């Protein structure tokens, strides 16, 4: 396993991080989830990403039990806050109340005294940013959170938060967690240049394009039984944007490139994201331990400029680049 600094901070994270968005607590039984976590640890992964909202808080609890007994100082545990975790009006967003109550719930479920990285899961237009940043800073000062990050924020939102933190003398954002893959490059035009200037690192999710970049979805063929595309409990809605013959045909044309490099299609896709120097880690998920073992082989892989150009030539017009498609909520007037 290779390691990188998280942005300009001193925190080192494993290039391949393990995430449990669509698996633990919902799609995968706990025994299988624990086997995947053990495989991740065996492969040298030290960075684990989750969120309070995943599987209605169950994902955090499963991860906490799976990591129990591990040396806490040897792990980087990351979680998030924003989405509803209860029925009340204050059980959501980035208010001081929700942030403070949510971190206590996350720490209890994760069975830890602190998290290494606490991330604002989306931007909150209903809460003053000063209130949100002060609440995060208080958690840092209390030792319950070591570093602060965001997920799916636009460049302008990150920039505003950094400016306010500097003016108020608060802890700065050190990371951004966006979707990023060969097919989905919406961060490249605005988020990445800002992040490079300001020392913010990317921990990217869905580096294999919801599974499409593994090559298992074939043009003109039925969807594989049991795949994410057939799972209406999570993931099917997101993957459908790629399930057209043009995208799937172009993805199959990546196979010879992967074969020449001695990589699986998934390894090529993950390694591609890690060629971006602003990317600190790529998050992978798994329903079986062997998937973890396959994915980690992308760590340390170097792709030369000719390979990167061939990938661009193959995917061409199906690549999504519009920064307006960042997953932040719609702007308020």
Beta strands at 201-204 and 279-284: parallel, antiparallel or unpaired: parallel
User: What's the confidence (pLDDT) of residue 233?
Assistant: 59
Is 54 catalytic? The answer is yes
Q: Which domains does the chain have, with CATH numbers?
A: 3-211+263-303 (3.20.20.100)
Beta strands in the chain (DSSP E): 3-5, 12-14, 16-19, 47-49, 76-81, 115-120, 145-151, 173-177, 201-204, 279-284
Beta strands at 47-49 and 16-19: parallel, antiparallel or unpaired: parallel
What is the model's pTM? 0.91
CB 177 within 8 A of CB 205: yes
Residue 319 gets the label, from left (phi > 0), alpha (psi -120 to 50) or beta, of beta
CA-nearest of 26, 77, 72 to 53 is 26
CB 82 within 8 A of CB 94: yes
Beta strands at 12-14 and 3-5: parallel, antiparallel or unpaired: antiparallel
CA-nearest of 26, 22, 106 to 60 is 106
Residue 143 CA to residue 202 CA, distance in Å, equals: 23
Residue 262 gets the label, from left (phi > 0), alpha (psi -120 to 50) or beta, of left
Enumerate residue ranges in the chain where pLDDT < 70: 22-28, 223-238, 332-333
Which single residue is written with the structure tokens 């099917």?
236
Query: Given 54, 180, 217, 242, which residue is catalytic?
Result: 54
DSSP per position, 269-291: HHHHHHTSTTEEEEEE--SSHHH
User: What's the confidence (pLDDT) of residue 238?
Assistant: 67
């Amino acid at each position: 396993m290779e390691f990188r600094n998280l942005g300009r901070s001193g925190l080192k994270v494993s290039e391949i991080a393990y995430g449990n968005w669509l698996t633990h607590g919902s799609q995968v039984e706990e025994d299988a989830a624990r086997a995947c976590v053990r495989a991740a640890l065996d492969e040298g992964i030290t960075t684990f990403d989750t969120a309070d909202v995943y599987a209605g808080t169950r994902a955090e609890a499963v991860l906490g039990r799976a990591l129990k007994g591990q040396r806490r100082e040897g792990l980087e545990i990351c979680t998030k806050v924003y989405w509803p975790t209860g029925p009340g009006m204050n059980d959501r967003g980035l208010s001081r109340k929700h942030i403070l109550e949510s971190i206590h719930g996350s720490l209890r479920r994760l069975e830890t005294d602190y998290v290494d990285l606490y991330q604002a899961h989306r931007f909150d237009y209903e809460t003053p940013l000063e209130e949100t940043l002060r609440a995060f800073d208080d958690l840092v000062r209390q030792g319950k959170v070591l570093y602060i990050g965001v997920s799916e924020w636009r460049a302008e939102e990150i920039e505003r938060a950094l400016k306010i933190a500097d003016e108020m003398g608060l802890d700065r954002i050190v990371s951004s967690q966006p979707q990023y893959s060969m097919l989905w490059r919406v961060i490249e035009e605005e988020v990445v240049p800002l992040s490079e200037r300001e020392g913010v690192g990317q921990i990217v999710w869905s580096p294999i394009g919801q599974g499409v970049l593994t090559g298992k979805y074939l043009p003109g063929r039925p969807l594989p039984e049991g795949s994410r595309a057939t799972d209406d409990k999570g993931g099917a809605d997101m993957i459908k944007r790629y399930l057209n013959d043009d995208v799937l045909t172009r993805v199959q044309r990546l196979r010879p490139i992967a074969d020449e490099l001695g990589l699986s299609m998934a390894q090529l896709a993950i390694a591609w994201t890690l060629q971006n120097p602003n990317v600190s880690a790529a998050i992978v998920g798994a329903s079986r331990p062997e998937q973890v073992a396959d994915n980690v082989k992308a760590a340390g892989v170097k792709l030369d400029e000719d390979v990167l150009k061939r990938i661009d030539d193959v995917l061409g017009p199906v690549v999504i680049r519009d920064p307006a498609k960042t997953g932040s909520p719609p702007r308020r007037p």
